[in-house]
Chains A and B, each alone.
Chain A
Amino acid sequence: MELLWVIVGLVGLVGLVYVVLYNSLIGKRNQVENAFGSVETNLKKRYDLIPNLVAAVQKYMTYEKDLLERIVSLRTQAMAAAGGTPDPEQRFKLEGDLSQALRGLMINVENYPDLKASQNMLQLQASLNEVEEQISASRRFYNAAVTDYNNAVEMFPSNLVAGQMRLTRKPVFTIPESERAAPDLGKMFGG
């Protein structure tokens, strides 16, 4: 009889632990989705800004047609990727390339004093700075949520529950090495 109670107790305990782990994994997965949503919102702000930016610089920048075309095409690709649901890694890479191209554009603006001084351009630069800061903030939130989630998926004992729930690792949103080495926009245009 006693043995029976012990078994019932153990089964109950295991069940309880399972419920706790299950809920915590769901919570972490939802946190990742929530963070991804905030990344998307800010990326969308950048998509909206790019046409204005391109229109503003087009008149002046006669020698950087390739760069401008590349930016427009990257934006189109990134938006298409956002519309469908391909693997996030591919998408993050596109966004990274876009960030890099935009930074390249901003550096080129330095070569056109008239353009650089125009009120419209100053405003666009400030907006772009703002959006880039927000993207960076939401990207960091996303990465923190993903790290938390990945830890839970891989660590014992929650990995057992995760395996049974078919949860797998999610990629973090990294920025290309060359972009990190690029000069700080804030420093360049701030002062």
Chain B
Amino acid sequence: MQKSFNEFYQAVRPTLEQLEKERRVALSRSAWAVGIAVVAGLLVTLGIFLVNPDNDPSGAIFALLFFAVAGYGYAEWRHLGPFRRRFKLEVIERLVKFVSSELHYDPSAGVGERAYRDSLLFPRSHDRFRQEDLIAGTVGQTRLRVSEIHSEYRTRDSKGRTNWHTIFRGLFFVLDFPKRFNGTTLVLPDGTGWLGGLGDAMQGWDSRGELVKLEDPEFERLFVVQGTDQVEARYLLSTSMMERIKELRKRGPLYMAFTGGNLYVGISSSRDLFEPNVLKPLGMDDLMAHMGNLRQVLGIVDELELNTRVWRE
């Protein structure tokens, strides 16, 4: 495997070297853009002080900040953004194809709002939905689609300011599940543990199904399970499956939905995967790191043993 990875590295090396040149150009142009903006900001504030020396100095700091942010915004739009896109298209796409020819990658697409809604995992309606880095295809016999998503809702405070609140941010998977099922079973992080019995009662009120109490105390402490069918929920969440889910939980807060014949998995994370670091030279290390991330993302199929199919009829 290591050898073939080396071969892959040799194959993409010219591309990486080319991208490294582009990175340096993008970085220096961005530095220039920010620098010019800051100098312009300084001149403007200086001008204001010359015209009216009694001005409030906090206004000057604000103006300076504004120019710096505007400069960075320009750099991001004109230089850094295009570089990141090029990197993803040239390197990540080839990396995905290297891992499996059954997979394809699209940096600007996602699993879709439809899949997100169909999962029933996040009943709160969102005002903003962003997604990127779609990987789709099959791993073994399991069909998989995964992307990063970020859903948010908006509130306004009494002063009319808009605030954005995250509903979910992280990796979102749509997967085949080897067992057949008709109803809906949800596995959600348990946010009411400390409320004890009262928490149970409150969980019972959700319209997405009745509370399913499972016999594994650790699992019960970590998750709330809701389902439309008590037996089906236990059929899907076999004792070995619960062990695997607890293991997967170590990656981050976990949301799972078995509904509409699909398995949806959301793993919360604020990490932005598959992005190049513009401040560091590109090299084999980056490639290895992205490879590691990719393998971890696809590893969910093995971790949940989705390729084990002994229940066919």
A interface residues, Cβ below 8 angstroms from B: 35, 38, 123, 125-127, 129-130, 133-134, 136-138, 140-141, 143-144, 148, 184-186, 189-191
**Does the CB pair B235–A35 fall under 8 Å?**
no
Q: Which among A130, A141, A190 is the interface contact of B234 at CB below 8 angstroms? A: A141
- A133-B238, A140-B215 given; A126·B232 CB < 8 A: no
Contact with A along B227-246 (1 / 0, CB 8 A): 00011111100101000000
Residue of B179, B231, B233, B311 with most chain A CB atoms under a 10 A cut-off:
B231
- Among B179, B230, B308, B310, point to the contact of A141 (Cβ < 8 A): B230
Give the residue of B234, B240, B310, B312 whose beta carbon is less than 8 angstroms from that of A137: B234
Rounded to whole angstroms, the CA-CA distance of A133 and B240 in the bound complex is 11
Known A136-B238, A137-B238; contact A189-B231, beta-carbon cutoff 8 A = no
CB of A126 within 8 A of CB of B234, answer: no
Residue ranges of B at the interface with A (Cβ–Cβ < 8 Å): 179, 213-215, 230-235, 238, 240, 308-313
| B311-A35 in contact (CB<8A) | no
CB of A185, distance to nearest CB on chain B (Å): 7
B residues within 8 A CB of A184? 240
List 25 A-B residue pairs with CB atoms under 8 Å apart, sorted by A's residue number: A38-B230, A123-B313, A126-B310, A126-B312, A126-B313, A133-B238, A133-B311, A134-B235, A136-B234, A136-B238, A137-B232, A137-B234, A138-B231, A140-B215, A140-B234, A141-B231, A141-B234, A144-B213, A144-B214, A144-B215, A148-B213, A184-B240, A186-B308, A190-B309, A190-B310
Q: How many angstroms between the C-alpha atoms of A129 and B240 in the bound complex?
A: 14
Taking A140-B215, A143-B215, A148-B213 as known contacts, 6 extra A-B pairs with beta carbons closer than 8 A to each other, sorted by chain A number, are A130-B313, A133-B235, A136-B238, A141-B231, A141-B234, A190-B309
Residues of chain A with a CB closer than 8 A to B231's CB: 35, 38, 134, 137-138, 141
Complex Cα distance A185/B232, Å? 20
Mostly helix, strand, loop or mixed at chain A's interface?
helix
User: Smallest Cβ distance from B58 to chain A, in angstroms?
Assistant: 62
Asked if B313 and A127 make an inter-chain contact with CB atoms under 8 angstroms apart, the answer reads yes
* Chain B hits for A190, CB < 8 A: 308-310
A45 to B: closest C-beta gap in Å: 11
What CA separation (Å) do A141 and B215 show in the bound complex? 9
- The minimal Cβ–Cβ distance linking B226 to chain A, given in whole angstroms, is 14
Return B148 CB to nearest CB of chain A, in Å: 32
Find chain B residues with CB under 8 A from A140 CB.
Answer: 214-215, 234
A140 and B230 alpha carbons, distance in the complex (Å):
9
Q: Which residue of A lies closest to B311 (CB)?
A: A130
Q: Give Cα A144–Cα B238 distance, bound, in whole angstroms.
A: 14
CB closest residue in chain B, given A143? B215
Contacting pair B215 A189 (CB below 8 A): no
Q: Name the B residues within 8 Å of A123 (CB-CB).
A: 312-313
Name the CB-closest residue of B to A142. Answer: B231
Inside 8 A of B179's CB, which chain A residues have their CB? 133
Structural contact, A186 and B310, CB atoms closer than 8 A: yes
Which residues on B sit within 8 Å (CB–CB) of A141?
Answer: 230-231, 234
Q: List the 4 shortest-distance A-B pairs measured between CB atoms, nearest first.
A: A137-B235, A137-B234, A190-B310, A140-B234
User: Please, which residue of chain A has its CB at the minimum distance from the CB of B235?
Assistant: A137
Residues of A within 8 A of B310 (CB): 125-126, 129, 185-186, 189-190
Query: Are the C-beta atoms of A138 and B312 separated by less than 8 Å?
Result: no
Considering only CB atoms, which chain A residue lies closest to B232 in the complex? A137
Q: Shortest beta-carbon distance, B311 to chain A, in Å?
A: 5
**CB neighbours of A133 from chain B (8 A):** 179, 235, 238, 311
A185 surroundings in chain B (CB, below 8 A) = 310
Give, as a whole number of angstroms, the nearest-CB distance from A60 to chain B. 21
Closest to A139 in B: B234
